[in-house]
């Protein structure tokens, strides 16, 4: 899931919500959250990242790709958090 332009004071994003932000295109080529779907067998790694930026908006439209968002963020990150999860089925 790619979510950007979330207000700076946001402390949580309720399930099923965009948290007031703009959804980008996910790895499934769709907008929104698709949930974990690892290949059978070995655990798959999921990276969740959140960035604090020095701008209020990136100016991108809904459906922007991860590459588009990363390119627009370049030089604006002032903080970053990361959570890595492993999931297998």
Nearest Cα neighbor of 25 from 55, 70, 57, 56 is 70
Strand 44-53 and strand 3-4: the pairing is: unpaired
The rounded distance, in Å, linking the Cα atoms of 51 and 34 is: 21
Check residue 74 and give its pLDDT. 97
For the chain, the structural domain boundaries read 3-87
The domain made up of 3-87 has a fold known as: Phosphatidylethanolamine-binding Protein (3.90.280)
Q: What is the mean pLDDT of residues 48-59?
A: 94
Q: What's the whole-number average pLDDT of the chain?
A: 90
Identify the top-confidence range among 20-29, 36-45, 72-81: 72-81
Per-residue pLDDT averaged across 57-77, rounded?
96
Give the predicted TM-score (pTM) of the model: 0.84
Question: Hunting for tokens 């499934």 — which residue is that?
Answer: 28
**pLDDT of 36 above 90:** no
């Amino acid at each position: 899931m790619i979510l950007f332009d979330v207000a700076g004071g946001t402390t949580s994003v309720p399930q099923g919500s965009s948290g007031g932000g703009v959804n980008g295109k996910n790895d499934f080529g769709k907008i929104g959250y698709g949930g974990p779907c690892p290949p059978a067998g070995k655990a798959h790694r999921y990276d969740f990242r959140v960035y604090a930026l020095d701008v209020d908006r990136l100016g991108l439209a809904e459906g922007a790709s991860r590459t588009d968002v990363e390119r627009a963020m370049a030089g604006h990150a002032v903080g970053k958090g990361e959570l890595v999860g492993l999931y297998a089925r």
